Amino acid sequence: QQNVQQSPESLIVPEGARTSLNCTFSDSASQYFWWYRQHSGKAPKALMSIFSNGEKEEGRFTIHLNKASLHFSLHIRDSQPSDSALYLCAVETGGYKVVFGSGTRLLVSP
Amino acid sequence: DMKVTQMPRYLIKRMGENVLLECGQDMSHETMYWYRQDPGLGLQLIYISYDVDSNSEGDIPKGYRVSRKKREHFSLILDSAKTNQTSVYFCASSPRRVGSDYTFGSGTRLLVI
């Protein structure tokens, strides 16, 4: 049974700061990893995905995956108030199923 | 614009009443999902549907059943709702292809009193 844990539970950062969100998983055979973002009262939306070890950058966002340590992370450069949201990491477990973490609530203060 | 549509957005039911939550998608995705979201627990999978009449239990199926008679439509049914089923329910869809993003609907906020 895949176990996905996120840290921290919540985070407050000033505008312009670099933000780091963490996710650990338990199944070393996992191959597909995502970060979803959910603004208050809205649907979760896929932000970025990574399918192989290493880093992937898209604009201000970077995912880093280390399968050996069962860890992946999301880094936000130059955080903006519009980045304030619940961030959910997700790991595919097989059978087209995905397990979500419980989320990190990010608040970027102006 | 590709989307997943959920109805209703808000619902208040009394304990013991039956509840029907509906979800539609216009992307011809084979796979559809029902999740519930509670504070501190993230998204928990209730049921997954791989196509019409091909449904499978998720992690928390007790107290729920589903129906999928058309590829674009997936219903969640609560027979005799309980107060602990108060939650936000999200429907999602994805192509039946590994590594595919999920597209979520806007959710149904259900209050069982």
pLDDT at B21 over 90: yes
Residues 6+ apart with CB under 8 A from B10: B108, B109
Residues of chain A positioned with their CB less than 8 A from the CB of B107:
43
Bridge partners of A49, per DSSP, are A34
Residues of chain B positioned with their CB less than 8 A from the CB of A31:
98-99
Which pLDDT score is estimated for B16?
A: 97
Phi, psi values for residue A69, rounded to 5° = -95, 5
Query: What band does B41 get if pLDDT is binned at 50, 70 and 90?
Result: confident
Question: In terms of CA atoms, which chain A residue is nearest residue B106?
Answer: A43
Share of chain A above pLDDT 70, in %: 100
Query: What band does A94 get if pLDDT is binned at 50, 70 and 90?
Result: confident
Flag if A92 and B48 touch (Cβ within 8 Å).
no
Residue with tokens 């990574």: A50
Taking a C-beta distance cutoff of 8 angstroms, is the pair A35, A106 a contact? Answer: no
Substitution target in B98, B103, B108, B109 with the highest count of A β-carbons within 10 Å is B98
Report CA dihedral (B76, B58, A48, A79) to the nearest 10 degrees. Answer: 80
Q: What distance in Å separates residue B79's CA from the closest CA in chain A?
A: 25
> pLDDT for A1-48, tens place per residue?
789 999 999 999 999 999 999 999 999 899 999 999 999 999 999 999
Which pLDDT score is estimated for B111?
A: 98
Question: In terms of CA atoms, which chain A residue is nearest residue B93?
Answer: A96
Q: Work out the average pLDDT over B4-29.
A: 96
Q: Work out the average pLDDT over B25-43.
A: 93
Residues of chain A positioned with their CB less than 8 A from the CB of B58:
97
Flag if B107 and A46 touch (Cβ within 8 Å).
no
Which pLDDT score is estimated for A93?
A: 86
